[in-house]
Structure 1
Amino acid sequence: MKQIEVQIMGQSYLLGCPEGGEARLREAVERVDAAMCKIRDAGKVKARDRIAVLASLNLAFDLAQREAEPPAAPPAAASDPTADDARATQLIQRLDQALAGDGHLL
């Protein structure tokens, strides 16, 4: 298995990569890095682990939504920054509740 070095939010990671999968892995890294940087740059969350959890939830939610859409659905319109902020705030509140002990994120 090939190993590649990548950076996410300025931190280096050495990842195992199957032969022929480097382009897809780098694309995934770019998505994760962009998602994490967007949350960090919004300034509402400082801790790297919380940023990672929120970014993971956002990416998983987006993937689930795409999988639930009918195949012939037109591409989604550009995202509304106000809606993105509201969703991030809700996710932060849910993460806070889960970390406080109720255990439910969504």
Structure 2
Amino acid sequence: MKQLEVQIMGQSYLLSCPENGDARMLDAVNRVDLAMCKIRDAGKLKARDRIAVLAALNLAFELSDRGPSQAPAPAAKAATAGSSPTTGAERTDQPQLTALLQRLDNALGIDGRLL
């Protein structure tokens, strides 16, 4: 295994990646960084863990929207607090996701922490 030092939202991480997996790992890091920075820059959230959860939900939603034969999109689209993880327009055909995000907001509370 090879190790890469990367930065996500200005914080350094040392990641292990398989041999010849550098490009894919750096692409994944870029997607996560973009998703998290967009959420942070929207100004509604400050807690890094809450931003990470919303970014993960957004990326998972994007993956579930594609068939197995489709390639990943070139850049992640970030969700903002209280909205579904779409390209900015709320999707009314995703009530379960909206409900899940609302439950997450309620569980995290005002400070964005579980405990």
TM above 0.5: yes
How many residues of Structure 1 are paired with residues of Structure 2 in the alignment?
89
Change over 3 Å in CA distance of 1:24–1:64 after alignment to 2? same
Between 1 and 2, higher relative CO (CA 8 Å, sep ≥ 6) is seen in 2
Gaps of 5+ in 2: 74-85, 110-115
- Cα deviation 1:1-30 (Å, max 9, x = unaligned): 110000000000000011000000000000
- Aligned-pair CA distance for 1:97: 2.7
Alignment counterpart, residue 90 of structure 2, candidates 83, 90, 103: 83
Change over 3 Å in CA distance of 1:12–1:43 after alignment to 2? same
Alpha-carbon separation, structure 1, partners of 2:6 and 2:21: 14
- Aligned-pair CA distance for 1:93: 2.7
Runs of 4+ in 1 over 4 A off after TM superposition: none
TM-score (norm 1): 0.71
TM-score (norm 2): 0.66
Q: Which amino acid aligns with 1:97?
A: N
Q: Which residue of 1 aligns with 2:25?
A: 25
Q: Which residue of 2 aligns with 1:104?
A: none
Alignment counterpart, residue 105 of structure 2, candidates 93, 96, 105: 96
- Aligned-pair CA distance for 1:95: 1.2
Q: Choose between structure 1 and 2: higher helix proportion.
A: 1
Which has the larger Rg? 1
Amino-acid identity (%): 66
